Amino acid sequence: MASRFQAAALVAAPSCPNAIVWSDENLIAVASGHLVTILNPALLYGPKGLITLPAECEPYQIGVVKREDLLSNCLLSTCLNRDRRPCVRSVSWSPIGMAPNAGCLLAVCTTEGRVKIYRPPFCDFGSEWIEVEDISDGLYKYLENKNFGEDATEHAYVDDMPNLAPRKERKRRRVNVSGVINNDSRSSVYTNVGSFDLARGFEIRSCQLKEKNSYQIISVSKAKGKPVNKISNNCTLPVITADQYASRSAILHSLVLAWSPVLRLPSSNCPVPPNGSSICFSVLAVGGRSGKISFWRISMPECYSIEHSKISTSTVLIGLLQAHNSWITTISWAMISSDSSNPQVLLVTGSSDGSVRIWRYGQELLNSTEVELAPFSLLKEVITVNTVPISVLSIIVPVQSPHQILLAVGKGSGSFEVWICDISGSKYEKAGSYDAHDQADNIVRSWILCGSFLSDVPIPSVTPGLKSSTDLPDVFFSCLGVAVSPGNHIIAMVRSFDLDTLDHMYEARAQKAAVEFLWIGGQQIDALSGTFPEFGLEAFPDFSKKGLVSWVDNILWSLKQCEHLDKPLVVWDVIAALLAFKRSVPKYVKCIVVKWLSTLHPESQEGFSPEVILSHISKISSRRLHLLNIICRCVILSELKADQVNSKLNNLEGLCGSEEEQLDLWMVLLSNSERELRERLVSFSFSAFLCLTSHSASSFSHPGCWYPIGIAQMEQWVARNHEHIRNELKVLASEVVEHKTRIHSGEYTEEEQCSYCSASVLFDSLDSALCQGSEESVDGVCQTHKLVRCAVSMQVCPTTPLWFCKCCHRWSYRLAPECLFTMPSYPLDFKHRRKSSTVEEEISKPLCPFCGILLQRLQPEFLLSASPV
DSSP string covering 380-443, please?
EEEE---SSPEEEEEEE--TT-TTEEEEEEEETTSEEEEEEEETTTTEEEEEEEEE---SS---
Query: Is residue 45 scored above 70 in pLDDT?
Result: yes
Per-residue pLDDT at 97: 93
Per-residue pLDDT of 733-789, as tens digits, reads 988 888 776 655 555 677 888 888 888 998 988 899 988 886 565 566 678 889 999
Indicate if the alpha-carbon torsion angle 613, 619, 624, 627 is positive or negative. positive
Domain span holding position 177: 156-241
* 22-31, 345-354, 374-383, 795-804: the lowest-pLDDT one: 374-383
- The answer to the question of residue 302 being in a domain is no
Give domain status of residue 181, yes or no.
yes
Q: Are 617 and 673 in contact (CB under 8 A)?
A: yes
Contact 589, 581 (CB under 8 A): yes
pLDDT confidence of residue 176:
34
- Please tell me which of 519-533, 604-618, 839-853 the model is most confident about, judged by mean pLDDT: 839-853
CB–CB of 710/602 below 8 Å? no
Query: Does residue 172 carry a pLDDT above 50?
Result: no
Average pLDDT for 119-139: 93
Domain boundary among 241, 276, 297: 241
More confident residue, 267 or 409: 409
Of the chain, the percentage scoring pLDDT greater than 70 comes to 74
pLDDT in the model for residue 167: 38
Distance CA 436, CA 403 (A): 28
CA-to-CA distance for 230 and 449, rounded, in angstroms?
60
pLDDT at 170: 41
pLDDT in tens, 782-836: 788 899 999 999 999 998 999 999 999 999 999 999 899 999 998 876 665 555 4
In this structure, is residue 564 part of a structural domain?
Answer: no
What is the predicted pLDDT for the residue at 483?
Answer: 94
Does residue 826 lie within any of the structural domains? yes
Q: How does residue 604 score in pLDDT terms, banded at 50, 70 and 90?
A: low
Predicted pLDDT of residue 737: 84
Given this model, what pLDDT does residue 110 score? 94
Which DSSP state fits 702?
S
In the 8-state DSSP scheme, what is residue 750? Answer: S
pLDDT band at residue 635 using 50, 70 and 90 as cut-offs: very high
Q: Which of 46-50, 382-386, 661-665, 763-767 has the lowest mean pLDDT?
A: 661-665
d(CA 102, CA 847): 9
Question: What is residue 537's predicted lDDT score, i.e. its pLDDT?
Answer: 54
For residue 703, pLDDT beyond 80: no
- Asked if 411 contacts 372 with a C-beta cutoff of 8 angstroms, the reply is no
For 190-248, how does the pLDDT look when each residue is reduced to its tens digit (9 = 90+)?
Answer: 344 333 333 333 332 333 333 333 333 333 333 344 444 444 455 678 888 999 999 99
**Predicted local distance difference test score (pLDDT) of residue 550:** 86
Q: Answer whether residue 175 is part of any domain.
A: yes
Residue 484 to residue 491: CA distance in whole angstroms: 4
Q: What count of other Cβ atoms lies within 10 Å of the Cβ of residue 53?
A: 20
Q: Is residue 731 part of a domain?
A: yes
Residue 314: closest CA among 265, 362, 350, 267: 265
Question: pTM here?
Answer: 0.86
**Burial classification of residue 470, based on how many CB atoms lie within 10 Å of its CB (0-12 exposed, 13-18 middle, 19 or more buried):** middle
Instruction: State the Cα–Cα distance between residues 726 and 469, nearest whole angstrom.
Output: 53
Give the best-scoring range by mean pLDDT among 155-159, 324-328, 433-437, 784-788.
Answer: 324-328
Residue 690 lies in a domain: yes
Longest dimension (CA), the chain: 110
Lowest mean pLDDT among 26-30, 516-520, 606-610: 606-610
Domain termination residue (choose one: 241, 270, 288)? 241
Q: Taking the CA atoms of the chain, what radius of gyration do you get in angstroms?
A: 31
**Contact partners, residue 694, CB within 8 Å, separation at least 6:** none
Express as a percent the part of the chain with pLDDT over 90. Answer: 38
Q: Indicate the number of domains in the chain.
A: 2
Average pLDDT over residues 67-88: 83
Rounded to whole angstroms, the Cα distance separating 562 from 623 reads 8
Cβ partners under 8 Å of residue 431, min gap 6: 417, 418, 419, 420, 449, 452, 453, 454
N-term to C-term CA, the chain: 28
**Residue pLDDT, tens place only, 541-594:** 667 777 788 889 999 999 999 999 989 999 999 999 999 999 888 888 988 998
| Predicted pLDDT at 193 | 39
Last residue of a domain, one of 216, 241, 266: 241
pLDDT digits 0-9 by tens, 399-449:
778 788 999 999 988 899 999 998 888 899 998 888 888 766 778 888 888
Residue 744 makes CB contacts below 8 A (sequence gap 6+) with: none
Whether 97 maps to a domain, the answer reads no
Least confident stretch, 56-70, 339-353, 364-378, 615-629: 364-378
Q: Which helix or strand (DSSP H or E) is residue 318 part of?
A: strand 315-322
* 115-129, 536-550, 704-718, 843-857: least confidently modelled range: 536-550
More confident residue, 365 or 856: 856
pLDDT given at position 36: 96
How far apart (Å, rounded) are the C-alpha atoms in residues 381 and 357?
4
**Banded model confidence at residue 181, pLDDT cuts 50, 70, 90:** very low
Supply φ then ψ for residue 554, to 5 degrees. Answer: -70, -35
Q: Whose CA is closest to 101, among 860, 705, 856, 671?
A: 856
Q: What is the 3-state secondary structure (H, E, C) of 454-515?
A: EEECCCCCCCCCCCCCCCCCCCEEEEEEEEECCCCCEEEEEEEECHHHCCCCCHHHHCCEEE
DSSP letter assigned to residue 712: H
Query: Is the per-residue pLDDT at 74 higher than 60?
Result: yes
pLDDT at 828: 74
Question: Rounded mean pLDDT of 144-171?
Answer: 56
Angle made by CA atoms 813, 816, 820, in degrees to the nearest 5: 160
| Mean model confidence pLDDT for the chain | 79
